[in-house]
Amino acid sequence: MGNPNAGKSTLFNALTGLSAKVANYPGVTVSRSVGSVAVGDQRVVVEDLPGTYSLDPISPDEQIVARVIEGHEGESPDGVVVVLDATSLRRSLGLLAQVQQTGLPTLVVLTFTDELARRGGGIDLAALSDAVGNQVVPVTAGNRNQLHDLIAQLDDPCCWRVPAVPAPTDPAQVTGWVDSVLTAAGFRIPQVDARTRRIDSVLLHPVWGTVIFLVAMVVFFQVIFTVAAPIQGWIETLFGWLATLVDEYVTVGWLSGLLADGIIGGVGSVLVFLPQIALLFAMIAVLESSGYMSRVAFLMDRVMGRAGLEGRAFVAMLSSVACAVPGIMATRSLPSARDRIATMMTAPLMTCSARLPVYTMLIAMLVPSDARLGPLGLQGLVMFAMYLLGAVSAMGAAWVFKYVLRGKGPALPFYMEMPSYQAPRLSDIGHAVWDACAHFVMRVGRIILVLTIAIWALLSLPVASDQDLATAGVDPTDEVAVAEYQIDNSAAAAVGKTIQPVFEPLGFDWRITVGLLSAMGARETFVATMGQMVSADNPDDPGSALQEMTWISGPHAGQKLFTPGVAAALLVYFAFALQCTSTIAVLKQESGGWKWPVIAFVYLTALAWVSALVVKLVVEAAVG
């Protein structure tokens, strides 16, 4: 355990490597990271607790830390490894004093000693160990020998050094104890990092800092399309080749359809967006490991303040860029109940990674790949605009909810530490990208695979007989015409056509409506569903087939389906609609009932429908 930004989680990752597992504490949705490390002939289980400044909790995260230390979350720990930041030792020692009062075996790990020396500070480690009464082990990033020394200490917590007299319990006496420890250890306060100060004078400037952040985001979304596009092409070619092989060698009709259209056409159309997912999380990892993320939170605190929220809420919202579920769970770090509710209700508006495949597909249909605005590609700018739309709409919704919840508790001060800048470690970036991609692939292999098979079955049943085809005037030898008839008369079509009148003002036919329904399980399934719709027409290039889709029946029969107005309306609908059942479930858990999830689903669905209609009408009027 330790303060936020003390290097605790980096140390945990170095100890446990790939053995770490993420789960939830029993009965709550606060994440817990548990791993193991080999110590001699045994394996020691290590848990990474949420960062905290005190065992006197004011937020749910800190409550969990206190409960674990007190043994209320299962077995009492055998020992506590307290991570202290050498550059902010005075504050860190206050937490150590509280841990000593619990009577648990305690080992102290001192991090950032190299940073302390670089900034002109200093400390006598042996004297520090004598002063606090616990063994102190220095561990700096990249020093394997120091890490091995720490691992050796984990063999038997019962043998850890115990202070003759624990730290006092009275807060005033704790301050005196900390002063005496620092004096005895010869602690020299580090100078303010000149490099960090110079960089912060620019990056934290109220104007230039914001401009630099926005420019960095624009450049990133340019990279998403320019770097990822060739890789996407290779993946599309691979799955097109696999579908061709299935058609050629699998002679059983229904099995060939399941493999080629259901699995390869559906799942493949989602996996093609893996490069964008990897790039997104690589950027987030660089921002976090460099120390810039805290500066972004500080900059956004000014913006968040306009909505009545604090910078800590931005961290929760930024987590929603990966997925709204951890974003909503991250609100447990907010001490204010009204801030937690307001942030939970608006976090789904932030553009999550599940929307990225849908956005990429629709933007490619809406904006030509060679369209540019000056030196910048227009596709990347539209993608940036969608992320900006999510953030701005979240701010607006937060302002409304803060006004509604103004009596739900006091506003509490915002405190956040600014770590020194450091070069991002490739291993940390690699871990973050690997975890994100593995989660995405597992999601595709579980939820999306099941949903795509279900959608394939609904699109394939009931099977059209020769008599049905003859009655409809369809040539049985025309595979494309047979496929269109089968889809238009399937069980999925029956469901979609029942709901179609609700979405028809937006220009959505029953196929898009079925896609929206499937997206309730996972937003990416919309892409898979549309991929299945066109896989029979053009398995090698589903993107072109989507652009050429037309209304099959009804008054719009023969008209192009994905017009600019419809594509733009779909973009906006996905930007606002709450289509994720996992998000609804975690909202219920975090808010303690169905009231807030129902409110969220209703207001976001209504906002999505109305906004999509307005955008469709505006775009259609603009293009004539």
DSSP-derived secondary structure for 222-236: HHHHHHHHHHHHHHH
- CA dist 114 and 141 (Å) reads 9
- CA dist 473 and 468 (Å) reads 9
Mean pLDDT of 192-204: 85
> What is the predicted pLDDT for the residue at 555?
84
> What is the predicted pLDDT for the residue at 18?
59
Residue 476 has pLDDT above 90, yes or no: no
- Distances 353 to 287, 289, 323, 387, 499 between C-alpha atoms, Å: 17, 20, 6, 11, 27
pLDDT tens-place string over residues 11-20: 888 888 755 6
Task: Specify the higher pLDDT residue, 410 or 524.
Answer: 524
Residue 542 has pLDDT above 50, yes or no: yes
Q: Which residues contact 492 (CB under 8 A, 6 or more apart)?
A: 455, 458, 459, 514
Structure-block tokens of residue 335: 């001490």
Q: Using the 8-state DSSP alphabet, how is residue 562 labeled?
A: S
Mean pLDDT of 259-283: 78
Mean pLDDT of 198-216: 87
- CA dist 488 and 502 (Å) reads 18
pLDDT-based confidence at residue 73 (cuts at 50, 70, 90): low
Sheet holding 106-111, edge to edge: 80-85, 106-111, 136-138
**Range with the lowest mean pLDDT among 109-118, 147-156, 420-429?**
420-429
DSSP-derived secondary structure for 136-149: EEE--TT-HHHHHH
> What is the share, in percent, of the chain residues with pLDDT greater than 90?
22
Taking only Cα atoms into account, the Rg of the chain, rounded to an integer number of angstroms, comes to 28
Task: Specify the higher pLDDT residue, 282 or 84.
Answer: 84
Residue 269 has pLDDT above 80, yes or no: no
Mean pLDDT of 411-416: 57
For the entire predicted model, the pTM comes to 0.69
Mean pLDDT over the full length of the chain: 83
Residue 136 has pLDDT above 90, yes or no: yes
DSSP-derived secondary structure for 480-502: HHHHHHHHHTSHHHHHHHHHHHH
pLDDT tens-place string over residues 380-401: 889 889 988 998 898 888 888 8
